[in-house]
Every structure is written in C-alpha cells, then in structure tokens.
C-alpha cells in the first residue's frame, strides 16, 4: 500500500514540474501586436490604389520589428474574417522585408 502511495505522489510531482504545453501556435505574438500593426500600418495594408509607401522609421515599422523575426505570417494567421476582407494579406507579409 505504501508503494502505491509513493508511486502516486511521484507521478503528481512529475506532472506539476514537467514541461508545460505551448499556449498556442504562436505564443509570443499577441493580439495587441496585431492590433498595433493594423492601426499604424493601415494606410499601407488596406486594399487601395495607389499603395502608399512605408518609411523604415515609421511607427508601423517599429511595431513590425517587435514581432519575433518580423514574422508577418503570424499576424496574418491572427486576422479575423472581417479583417481579412479589409486588409491585404500580401501587403502584411511584405512588411517583413519593407521594415527590415
């Protein structure tokens, strides 16, 4: 009986201190980063012609650089259906190079 209790206790300790699952597909990129990019970069990433340019020292690029590795695929993955209709996914991906 004592062996069973020790085994259960050991199991519980391992569960508590063991590796934790990742919170999501992109755990380091937040919705706040996405919202800032949509706000500060909206003139460039909205569907419109002609397409304005993005300055490397703009608030838009500063927000892009805060995303790990400037990975704009993460931002595209976080877009809602309504945002996908309003913003060009290709232009969002282009920010990765434009703000390098």
Joined tokens for residue 39: 């706000």
Beta bridge partners of 31: none
Q: Residue-wise pLDDT tens for the chain (100 aa)?
A: 666 555 555 554 445 454 444 345 545 678 889 999 999 999 999 988 787 888 999 999 999 999 988 899 999 999 999 999 999 999 999 999 999 8
How many distinct structural domains can be found in the chain?
A: 1
Give me the pLDDT at residue 97, please: 92
Query: Does the reported pTM lie above 0.75?
Result: no
Q: Is residue 45, in this structure, part of any structural domain at all?
A: yes
Structural domain boundaries, residue 39: 28-98
Say how far apart CA 74 and CA 57 lie, in whole Å: 22
Closest CA relative to residue 87, chosen from 40, 32, 21: 40
Q: Is residue 7, in this structure, part of any structural domain at all?
A: no
Q: Is residue 87, in this structure, part of any structural domain at all?
A: yes
Backbone angles phi, psi at 41, to 5 degrees: -105, 5
């Amino acid at each position: 009986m004592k062996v069973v209790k020790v085994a259960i206790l050991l199991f519980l300790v391992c569960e508590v201190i063991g590796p934790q699952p990742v919170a999501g597909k992109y755990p380091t990129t937040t919705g706040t980063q996405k919202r800032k990019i949509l706000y500060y970069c909206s003139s460039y990433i909205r569907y419109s012609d002609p397409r304005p340019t993005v300055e490397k020292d703009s608030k838009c690029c500063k927000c892009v650089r805060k995303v790990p590795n400037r990975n704009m695929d993460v931002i595209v993955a976080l877009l809602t259906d309504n945002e996908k209709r309003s913003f060009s996914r290709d232009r969002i991906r282009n920010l990765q190079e434009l703000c390098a």
